[in-house]
Amino acid sequence: MNAPRNDSLFAALRAAFPADLDATAIETTAPDGTPLYYTWRDIDRASSRIANLLASLGLPGGSRVAVQVEKSVEALLLYLATLRAGYVFLPLNTAYQSAEIEYFIGNAEPAVVVCTPGNFGWVSKIAFTAGTRHVFTLGENRNGSLLERAAHHADTHEAARKGADDLAAILYTSGTTGRSKGAMLTHGNLLSNAVMLNEYWGWRRDDVLIHALPIFHVHGLFVAIHAALLGGSKMLWLAKFDPRAVIAALPRATVFMGVPTLYVRMLGEGALTREAASHMRLFISGSAPLLIETFRDWQERTGHTILERYGMSETIMLTSNPYAADARHGGQDERRGGTVGFPLPGVGLRVVGDDGQALAVGETGNIQVRGANVFKGYWRMPEKTAEEFTPDGWFKTGDVGVVDERGYVRIVGRSKDLIISGGYNVYPAEVEGYINELPGVAESALVGVPHPDFGEVGVAVVIAKPGAVLQPEAIVAALKARLANFKIPKQCYVVPELPRNTMGKVQKNLLREQYKGLFA
């Protein structure tokens, strides 16, 4: 009898390691500036040790491993080890504060939590209260209890077998309204998307990826890391984005992935020249709209045309401009600025009107998608999941777009109330909820306005209760104590009233219009 099919993402990544396990897989620098080199063998051994540690804990199948640590190669090894041992990885933004962490841990009920040594006091308190049995620490200097404990375990580990439908990761995202929802991604979702992108973007074994993104979101964690590992190619690993460090690394690299803010910041550096970028094969942008000016300035300065793609936590990658001639679209190979390219192979994409009817080419409407990449649903929220799918199985992205006569998709807006700031999502409903709880506040509205660096930022407009006197600075200070820094409004105004339509609904479009020139 044949062995059952193994769809483990880790097994596929491991199988792509080059034959020479002593070749360098990752180059990075320690916080003190010391260069560090990791071979493929190092990755194999170290991820085995952590996987064996996790396996020794006797966790039930499907256990979540929640991780809020600074970016380091060891944090990547923890991700790989979690997959390897067959558990579910749950990454958390390092900017999240205690109220946010309390919600995620309470909702996901992880069996294991890994945090920074500095946060152990408050994170472990939240975790133990929520019933988590194991809390480990992992610091930026390869320190902390996770690695100390893992060092006692064997450096070989046979990856857990997984089916395509088994959960691999949960990414929290807020979607349209209310509290964050955990998007459940399976081994099949992640692996099928990674394999397809690898081919579509012409990945080569001698590629060298500059990895400068955070590793708690789809972009840095899945798209970038899976591409490099599946390609058996080297990564130049930067713990934090620094435009000068990326430009300095370009002559030794071939591929770079970034959100638009990273491209804007690199364009601000005189060292970014055609010569500096001459060794590069591919620049990829996504997670937020790339302004056409940035696209053109980049072309002019470096001679490279940025490839823009579009995706989301629930679906990983959905569309991409072509890397090479796309036979499905008459051999077109042009990367068109202001578009996110074609639906990727295996991804179904349609544009529908508010009545759910499919629209013709050139007509603007709601983007819906389907494919092996589309997530399994929201963690413990079957009703929410059902709401976000059509009866015939298409996922409602909440993005508004149009497909042109050549097949290119253009995102023109969002039906979901969402601000994308420097590639991070800010949900106005969440921030407004915190503002409305402050003493003296009657109500508030948070709107996104254009910003030269972050693309878009939040501006809060607040109404005081009768008789109350509010200071904008005090509102911002109170929010800083409770929310991740990127969610803090960059400006706050206290005004007598909010504009409303005849139904009484706040007209955010008027507020956006009013404040659009604030950071111009």
421 is an interface residue for ligand AMP by CB under 6 A: no
Residue 287 touching ligand AMP (CB under 6 A): yes
Check binding of 458 to ligand AMP (CB under 6 A).
no
The stretches of 40-153 forming alpha helices (DSSP H) are: 40-56, 73-85, 98-108, 120-129, 145-150
In the complex, minimum distance from the CB of residue 476 to ligand MLC, in angstroms, rounded to a whole number? 9
Residue 396 C-beta: closest distance to ligand AMP, Å: 10
- Secondary element (H or E) of residue 359: none
Is 287 a residue that touches ligand MLC (CB under 6 A)?
yes
Task: Give the residue nearest to ligand MLC (CB).
Answer: 422
Check residue 519 for interaction with ligand MLC (CB under 6 A): no
Kindly state whether residue 424 participates in binding ligand MLC, applying the rule CB under 6 A. yes
Q: String of b and e for 307-319 (b: at least 16 CB within 10 Å)?
A: bbbbbbbbbbbbb
Out of 182, 188, 214, 260, point to the residue binding ligand MLC (CB under 6 A).
214
173 binds ligand AMP (CB under 6 A): yes
Distance (Å, rounded) from C-alpha 136 to C-alpha 386?
A: 36
Among 17, 200, 203, 241, binds ligand MLC (CB under 6 A): 241
Closest approach of ligand AMP to the CB of residue 183, in Å? 8
Q: Which of 218, 230, 402, 419 binds ligand AMP (CB under 6 A)?
A: 218
- Which listed residue (259, 264, 369, 461) binds ligand MLC by CB under 6 A? 259
448 interacts with ligand MLC by CB under 6 A: no
Residue 213, binding choice from ligand AMP, ligand MLC, none, Cβ under 5 to 8 Å by partner class: ligand MLC
Q: Which element (helix H / strand E) includes 308?
A: strand 307-312
Give SS3 for 315: coil
286 near ligand AMP, judged by CB under 6 A: yes
Spatial contact of 456 and 474, defined as CB atoms under 8 Å apart:
no
Least distance to ligand MLC from the beta carbon of 213, Å?
4
Please tell me whether residue 175 binds ligand MLC under the rule CB under 6 A: no
| Residue 156 token pair | 């070989």
* Residue 370 and residue 350 in contact, taking contact as beta carbons nearer than 8 Å: no
- Give the Cα separation of 260 and 294 in Å (integer): 8
213 binds ligand AMP, rule: CB under 6 A: no
CB of 481 to ligand MLC, least distance (A): 12
Which of 139/289 has CB closer to ligand AMP? 289
How many binding residues for ligand AMP (CB under 6 A)?
A: 19
* Nearer to ligand AMP among residue 140 and residue 399 (C-beta): 399
Distance CA(163)–CA(168), nearest Å, equals: 10
Residue pair 208/190 in contact by the 8 Å Cβ criterion: no
Give the CA angle between residues 85, 90, 96 to the nearest 5°.
Answer: 150
Q: Is 213 in the site for ligand MLC (CB under 6 A)?
A: yes
Q: Considering the rule CB under 6 A, would residue 311 count as an interface residue with ligand AMP?
A: yes
Contact partners, residue 365, CB within 8 Å, separation at least 6 = 351, 352, 353, 354, 359, 400, 401, 402
Q: Does 422 bind ligand MLC (CB under 6 A)?
A: yes
Q: What share of the chain is helix, strand, coil (3-state, %, to 5)?
A: 30, 25, 40
Sign of torsion, CA 54 58 59 62?
A: positive
220 makes contact, choosing from ligand MLC, ligand AMP, none, with CB < 5 to 8 Å by partner type, with ligand MLC
Q: How many residues does the chain have?
A: 520
> 335: left (phi > 0), else alpha (psi -120 to 50), else beta?
beta
User: How would you list the strands of the sheet with 455-464, edge to edge?
Assistant: 441-451, 455-464, 491-494
Q: Which of 344, 504, 347, 311 lies closest to 420 in space, CA to CA?
A: 311
Candidates 99-107, 161-169, 232-240, 392-400: pick the segment binding ligand AMP (CB under 6 A): 392-400
Would you count residue 321 as binding ligand AMP (CB under 6 A)?
A: no
127 binds, among ligand AMP, ligand MLC, none (CB under 5 to 8 A by kind): none
The contact mask relative to ligand MLC for 464-493 (x = CB under 6 A, - = no) is ---------------------xx-------
Tokens of 273: 């020249």
Four-residue CA torsion sign, 198, 199, 200, 202:
positive
Give the interface segment with ligand MLC, choosing from 274-282, 354-362, 419-427, 498-506 (CB under 6 A).
419-427
Q: Report the interface residues with ligand AMP, using CB under 6 A.
A: 173, 218, 286-289, 308, 310-313, 340, 397-399, 411, 414, 420, 425
User: Where does this chain bind ligand MLC (CB under 6 A)?
Assistant: 213-214, 217-220, 240-241, 259, 261, 286-287, 311-312, 421-424, 454, 457, 485-486
